[in-house]
Amino acid sequence: MSGCQLKQFSVQRETQRWCYDLQIPAGQGIALMGPSGCGKSSLLEAIAGFIPHQGALWIAGVDVSQQPAQKRPVSYLFQQQNFFEHLTVATNLRLGFAQSHPTAEQWQAVLSACEQLEVATLLDRRPAELSGGQQQRLALIRTLLRPQPLVLLDEPFSALDDQLRDTACQWVKAQLKRQQQSLILITHRAEEAEQLTQHRFSPKDFLHTHKNPS
């Protein structure tokens, strides 16, 4: 089956445990909302393979739950953009593709995205020479153009003003549709969730709290 499916997928942080049964069809998305500390980032980290989980995780028809993080077909944008500081923006963008060699078509898509998101003149700079909003748009481009079936975005528009936020949101929506990627989005803004996803929920609703033995 295409898309992404979590079956009895459980994540543990000390005394807290969340258990999820979710399905996200290809080209569709869900938004994780809710207060600080409710478990939004923990779910993304477990799906990406950075923290342990139990249960099954199917992505594009394959159960990847036993795979290490680097093998999972997931493209993840953290709140910190994690660029290599000693490399130019262009080289950082190339690193998103297999063997760091995008095809001519893939690189054309990168350049076109850079034009649309108004960062095309920045490709020869180093990340430290960019504003927070410029870094965020370039990180979005790197994340969305990696040809992975599942995209995880953690507050991807937080450094953008309203006009750029709207432009970036529309671009993300078009990319997901064109590449039939599933999305899990963390956001505090209802309008972003409505624009990009079909379902919204809080991890709080999936929480089982254990009492420490006394």
Ligand X SMILES: Nc1ncnc2c1ncn2[C@@H]1O[C@H](COP(=O)(O)OP(=O)(O)OP(=O)(O)O)[C@@H](O)[C@H]1O
Beta pairing, strands 29-32 & 199-201: parallel
Contact (CB, 8 A) for 71 and 59: no
Beta strand 29-32 with 182-186 is parallel
Please, what is the minimum distance in Å from the beta carbon of residue 146 to ligand X? 23
Q: Give min distance, CB of 14 to ligand X, in A.
A: 5
Q: Closest approach of Cβ 41 to ligand X, in Å?
A: 3
Q: Are 94 and 146 in contact (CB under 8 A)?
A: no
Indicate the residue among 37 and 61 with the shorter CB distance to ligand X.
37
Q: Which is nearer to ligand X, 45 or 168 (CB)?
A: 45
Minimum CB separation of residue 51 from ligand X in Å reads 8
Nearer to ligand X (CB atom), residue 38 or residue 193? 38
Please check whether residue 83 is in contact with residue 135, taking contact to mean a CB–CB distance below 8 angstroms. yes
Q: Which is nearer to ligand X, 29 or 39 (CB)?
A: 39
Minimum distance, C-beta of residue 196 to ligand X, in the bound complex (Å): 18
Structure tokens at 142: 């790197």
**Sequence-ordered list of residues with C-beta below 8 angstroms from that of 104, at least 6 positions apart, any chain:** none
Residues engaged in binding ligand X (CB under 6 A): 13-14, 16, 36-42
Q: For residues 52 and 32, what is the distance between their CA atoms, to the nearest angstrom?
A: 19
In contact, 79 and 136? CB cutoff 8 Å: no
Name the residue nearer to ligand X (CB basis): 39 or 149. 39
